Chains A and B, each alone.
Chain A
């Protein structure tokens, strides 16, 4: 049983201590975390952004990433979407008794890799182990703090008529990659999750233009849901063009097979930006120069009227309403 996580690993005793030291402190090592005090103490000044999210993805390992990478990228991206420069993260595990230590090690290594790439530091954490069956393998919660530049105002309620809507790349990769490994769906594909930290791209975009009004990452609920949120918050209408919508062949194929619309499939490494029209091309070119924005497009525009609505010009030149996701995405036969 040496290679399994036991209830005792979460009990606060010697085993727990060893686990924290070996598994977390040694791997994620930094002076603040290594102190192992009850709280992380650090210096920060000015405007701060603060966010939290829990990660319960199934399966925990998927093509292109795992729950550890996701837990870092998700929180880093939430900070970045408010215009913040992500600084510090917390990292909490809830682990099912009997979970493989080797798998945990792999997940923590992914956390390490993702934090290195994003340039953030894990400064505090927690581990709980619960009885078998109480959770499905392992859940992670991360919270993050980031610094927001003075005067910067990025918000979902800032979109204005005349703005352009930019998308950083093809949609649906994460949702389909994860689904391909899920029970009952089983199909195989070379497709990988797009899970990635977007803070560097956002920093470059903010440096290129001071007229970025909204930033948001279309995660669960997909692009359609995010655009609807922006339209409702800003009380404007968004028109997008089907012809410009980037979707990979594999995503399209899986969607056809399962009866999904790619607009509703999850992403974990994409962003939507609403930018004042004169700056749109510049921001687009900036995005395209970054690692995760090579396939960025101008997807549509913000217009007046029909407040809160998103419509799409179809290939045939007609228009249709794009609504939010309702309920779960379930595969269908008809």
Chain B
């Protein structure tokens, strides 16, 4: 695979951004995601944002998991 983790864009200068990944900061390239904005979460692979993370979809997926967990709990 390709190791990649979510990071929050804190500032952008030209094609580069400073991102926060859970308490560590690193400069990354936005060359592959020129539309990324401050406040976006991006998926970072080898110092490049390879995609913008869809926060809405992430929350929807988690909601689904919560419903499943609740259903499993009630079954017991």
Contact = CB atoms under 8 A, between A and B. Distances in A.
**Would A and B touch once assembled, by the CB under 8 A criterion?**
yes
Given A333-B45, A333-B46, A187 B2 contact: no
Contacts of A257: 3, 5, 21, 24, 26, 44
Interface centre among A186, A191, A248, A250, by most chain B C-beta atoms within 10 angstroms, is: A250
B26 A249 contact: no
Interface residues of A, number: 19
A278 interface: no
A253 interface: yes
Interface in A163-191: 180, 186-191
B22 A188 contact: no
B5 A334 contact: no
Interface residues of B, number: 13
A333 B5 CA distance: 11
B3 A189 contact: no
Contact of B25 (A187, A248, A249, A259): A187
Contacts of A324: none
Nearest to B25: A188
A110 B5 CA distance: 37
A188 B28 CA distance: 13
A334 B3 contact: yes
Interface string B1-17: 11101000000000000
17 contacts: A186-B26, A187-B25, A188-B25, A189-B25, A191-B23, A191-B24, A249-B22, A249-B23, A250-B24, A252-B22, A254-B24, A256-B5, A256-B21, A257-B21, A257-B44, A259-B3, A333-B3
Nearest to A186: B26
Contacts of B2: 333-334
Given A256-B21, A257-B21, A188 B26 contact: yes
A189 B18 CA distance: 12
